[in-house]
Chains A and B, each alone.
Chain A
Amino acid sequence: MSRAQQNRVAITGNEAVALAMKQVEPDVVAAYPITPQTDIVQYFSSFVADGEVQTEFVTVESEHSAMSACVGAAAAGARAMTATSANGLALMWEVLYIAAGLRLPIVMPVVNRALSAPINIHCDHSDSMGARDSGWIQLYSEDAQEAYDNILQAVRIGEHPDVLLPVMVCLDGFIISHSLENLKVLDKEQVTAFVGDYRPDARLLDAKRPITVGALELQDFYFEHKRQEAEAMVRSAPIIEAVADEYARLTGRKYSFFEAYRMDDAEVAVMVLNSAAGTARAVVDQLRRRGVRAGLLKLRVFRPFPGAALAEALAGLSVVGIMDRAEGLSAAGGPLFVEVRSALLGRPRHPLVLNHIYGLGGRDVGPDQIEQVFADLLRAAEAGEARQQVTHIGVRD
């Protein structure tokens, strides 16, 4: 595959997502608007109204119905997409598990927003983190470019015959969804060629080969199917890499499970998801100029969780600060922290692991807050122990 000619555009994160959906042109989009995802649905409905896509657009009365309609469409053999945020994702809850359990490769942008209460429309990751055990692959995006790129790759990953799992593509509400930035986009024809046709092996509307979807399975078969689903999540890892390689040949933009930034000789590092990674990168550069051996690990794929590779990447550090934009409310730290720390267990040598919870409900996260995290890590590195394992930063006492 030769490198594609790309167009440089300046659009918002939501426009980039809507453009990716337009270029994929799924058979069915069923969606319900919720801030800050609303623009995506609005743009996409215009594409439908203006005849720019042939997609069957289903306006539904709730997110529960949106995901149910996607499940029905995907089971029938259609390529189906939706998009949501926060409470909308929460309302899809039971159907998320059904989409994954039925092995339906639905692709869903999730514009990350805090869950109520208190009611809040701004960014944190409590919504998608809550869905982390639902059987969906989760890709996270630093900016509009990555959101666009992840959606195109999500289609290929989810639909791969070895995978057949739904995929969430997460991007930060308002910070990315409503921010206008530069990105490079492919032409429709290039996207069509990249994503290919969706030809499921078995589908409900194939009268010549009738199948049952959603059968009752009690003690006899439920366990076998769940094990297959778990194995599919494991098998998705090499597919995610292979799709990323192919996408890199097409666009020059290379993705993996995570990005290790200035990690080679790092003594301390932070780990972060989504938009704060950009700000963290700037802080790392600043600290490096002052002689601090600082690094950044930006996680792109949270499901499947790349525990072994992460443990390897973090092994040389003295201290790592895991930054969670979700509280978790577990009394044991945020979700990313808990999983990274468990991935390190049993290794001969591993860093001290601290947890910094930040930016809940859209609290602005500037370089000062990330510098504060690094100061905490350096203090712990010197003392050889942490004063406190879980710290909330940028919050009033």
Chain B
Amino acid sequence: MSTVTEIRWHGRGGQGAKTAALLLAEAVSEAGKYVQGFPEYGPERMGAPVAAFNRLSDEPIRLHCHVSNPNIVVILDPTLIKGSSIVEGLTAEGLVLVNTAQDPAQLRSALGLAAGQRVFAVDASHIARETIGLDIPNMPMMGVLLAVAGVLPREQLRAIIQKQLEAKFKGKRDVAEGNLKAIDRAIQEVRGA
């Protein structure tokens, strides 16, 4: 992994792409790295396509523009996949993380990935419904990121996110626990190709 890890999140309004990007940035900052987390604000409504971005680095980050050559693309809604445009600019050894029950090998061809690029899939919506009770797939997809991205040692990042969730859902312990369970299940259930 290069010194700067760039991530592009694709989702629909309400699926938590922005929340995930900001939470991840905060968590990685907590571990002492330099971070950026920001959404692309469009004419947003529930269900409309949205994007969010991360830059995570050992050095101060100067760029203030969208991520156009991501190391990682996270897709919160598989209906956003229309050919390869969603992974545009993905680096040669980039990762694509998808919320889907579909077979990762099939996704590879649907996304038109090159030899060095890898895809990981998990049914994040299913996990979210079972753990949080709502189809908000951002935290299970965070789990996939923890499982495969190597941004930080997995246990370290998980521990920080656990603390963040507990602080964020203070007084709603079941929500924090549900989100954490969603992360852990995705780590277990992720499949790659």
Contacts and interface: CB of A to CB of B under 8 A. Distances in A.
Interface string A352-367: 0000000000001111
B66 interface: yes
B179 to A, nearest CB: 19
Given A278-B62, A366-B68, A180 B41 contact: no
A269 interface: no
A181 B29 CA distance: 8
Contact of A181 (B30, B35, B68): B35
A275 B26 CA distance: 21
A10 B39 contact: no
Report which residue of A122, A143, A180 has the largest number of chain B beta carbons within 10 angstroms of its beta carbon: A180
A380 interface: no
B65 A172 contact: no
B63 interface: yes
A279 B64 CA distance: 6
Contact of B39 (A122, A178, A182): A178
B66 A364 contact: yes
A180 B37 contact: yes
A175 B40 CA distance: 9
B62 A281 contact: yes
B38 A179 contact: yes
A8 B41 CA distance: 27
B29 A179 contact: no
A30 interface: no
B65 A180 contact: no
Contacts of B62: 278-279, 281-282
Interface string B17-30: 00000100110011
Interface string A1-37: 0000000101010000000000000000000000010
B48 interface: no
Interface size for chain B: under 10, 10 to 19, 20 to 34, or 35 or more residues? 10 to 19
Nearest to B21: A180
A10 B26 contact: yes
A293 B26 CA distance: 37
A311 interface: no
A255 interface: no
A176 interface: yes
B35 A182 contact: yes
B159 interface: no
Contact of A180 (B30, B36, B63, B64): B36
A276 B66 CA distance: 12
A108 interface: no
Chain B interface helix/strand/loop/mixed: mixed
A170 B82 CA distance: 40
B61 interface: yes
A168 interface: no
Contacts of B38: 174-175, 178-180
Contact of B63 (A122, A174, A176, A279): A279
Contacts of A182: 29, 34-35
Given A179-B36, A180-B36, A278 B64 contact: yes
Interface in B111-127: none
Contacts of A36: 41
B39 A176 contact: no
A10 B34 CA distance: 9
A179 B64 contact: yes
A279 B55 CA distance: 13
B22 A180 contact: yes
A121 B26 CA distance: 26
A172 B22 CA distance: 18
A367 to B, nearest CB: 7
B63 A282 contact: yes
B42 to A, nearest CB: 9
Contacts of B26: 10, 180
A276 B30 contact: no
Interface in A130-161: 142-143
B35 A367 contact: no
A179 B37 contact: yes
A367 B35 CA distance: 19
A281 B35 CA distance: 18
A198 B22 CA distance: 37
User: 8 tightest A-B contacts by CB?
Assistant: A10-B29, A179-B38, A278-B62, A275-B64, A180-B37, A366-B65, A180-B25, A278-B64
Given A10-B29, A143-B64, A181-B36, 13 more contacts: A12-B22, A172-B64, A174-B38, A176-B64, A178-B38, A178-B41, A180-B22, A180-B25, A180-B36, A180-B37, A181-B25, A182-B29, A366-B66
Interface of B: 22, 25-26, 29-30, 34-39, 41, 61-66, 68
Interface of A: 8, 10, 12, 36, 121-122, 142-143, 172, 174-176, 178-182, 275-276, 278-279, 281-282, 364-367
10 contacts: A8-B29, A143-B64, A175-B64, A178-B38, A179-B37, A181-B35, A181-B36, A278-B61, A278-B64, A281-B62
